[in-house]
Amino acid sequence: MFIYDLPNLFAILIVILVSFRIGLIPLWLSFFLCLFAFTPFFLNEVLFPASYMPDQFQYYKVSKGVRSFALDSFSDTSTVESASWILALIPLPYIETIQSLGFFNRFIVTVLIIWLYSSKNLRGWPLLFIVFYPSLLLYSSLALRDTLVLIFMILPVILFIENRRLLAVICVLPLLLFKYQNFLLVIVFFVVHLYFSRDSFVYRFRYMFLIIVIASLAPFMLTIIEFLDISRLNMFIDDGGRRNAYVHMRTIEDFIIIAMQSAPYFLMKPLPWEADSFLTFLQSFENILILFFLSFMFIKTFELDKRIAFKWMVYLFAALGIYGLVVFNFGSAVRYKFPFIVIVIIGMAYELYLKHGNLILNKGVKL
């Protein structure tokens, strides 16, 4: 039934070719964006069975129902329904197969990359990483909500960096509907950014601000830890763990120790010897490459601007630490962390461009 998705493919190709024709993107980028526009054809029932990620069928059913006004096809899960409504509004013609939403997500990421290149001056190694990042290519070619999660995270982050803070807050609100955890972690970024930015009001009173934040959270820390522990236990059991084998997290000390251990492991999960399928085996090697690239990015950024490097390192560690606390499944780990990897790479590159121009990150790469 691939013929039903050809109009979706052609729409993406037209956007790419028009962008090239009017000078928004260069020829090489147009070529690879066109090439990757075909990716949804080669995943479900080709690289792996569609049942490997069964929630795709829920997004397909609800999105198709929205397009056809079939009110009886809606989902019982509010997060699925919210994301599906947004996907259904993407201006592509047809939702006729499960691959259709893969083209919808490829359209979103294609427009994102064109916008980052033409408007935000994303160049050099960061651009190459975003274009060829396997997990981004994979999850942006499936019938899932992850591309929407990425978009509603990256737009607020860029807007906040540009000091368009009210608009940033408005743009992050949709995450409350279908990924509230990531909404909270974007708010964490807002706080971290204000704390480290010399031009912010918070920076002048940063020590007092830190004390106020800690004092405000202190009365609720045990409640927060208890909530995280319940979520962690549920996900541990869902992944096949036995309740009597679970190690509870009950104190602030437990929380800090486990979070510090979880962050680096979550970044590398799954390790090659932990892979339980061909896909996770490939993802384990991807994790090694990501580690090297992140190290390269942080080292180069640290040479130019220590404040920017340290800020993004703190944020990445916090985000991975929180998710690492509760996620045990290897596939879920890769799926949940890739938006944060993308945001850190783009965020660091954009801040360096705003403050220092294209100096270090683009050396040796003319794009």
Model-level pTM?
Answer: 0.91
> What's the pLDDT at 340?
95
Does the pLDDT at position 347 exceed 60? Answer: yes
Q: Which of 88, 99, 25 is nearest to 56 (CA)?
A: 99
What is the C-alpha separation between 348 and 340, in angstroms, rounded? Answer: 12
Q: What is the mean pLDDT of residues 46-74?
A: 83
> What's the pLDDT at 233?
84
Count of alpha carbons within 13 Å of 39, Cβ hemisphere only?
A: 27
Instruction: Quote the Cα angle for 309-328-82, to 5°.
Output: 80
The answer to whether 360 touches 151, Cβ cutoff 8 Å, is no
CA 162 to chain centroid, in Å, comes to 20
The answer to whether 102 touches 39, Cβ cutoff 8 Å, is yes
Q: What is the mean pLDDT of residues 29-37?
A: 97
Outline where the chain has alpha helix (H): 6-21, 27-36, 55-68, 78-88, 98-119, 124-132, 134-139, 146-161, 165-172, 175-178, 180-196, 201-204, 206-217, 221-238, 252-268, 278-304, 306-326, 330-356
pLDDT, tens only, 267-279: 988 888 887 777 7
The structural domains of the chain, with segments of one domain joined by +, span: 1-119, 123-367
SS3 state of residue 95? coil
Q: Residues 60-85, buried b or exposed e (16+ Cβ, 10 A)?
A: bbbbbbbbeeeeeebbeeeebbbbbb
Beta bridge partners of 269: none
At residue 44, what are phi and psi to the nearest 5 degrees?
Answer: -60, 130
Q: What is the mean pLDDT of residues 290-301?
A: 94
pLDDT, tens only, 70-88: 766 565 678 888 999 999 9
C-alpha distances in Å from residue 26, one per residue of 236, 276, 358: 47, 40, 18
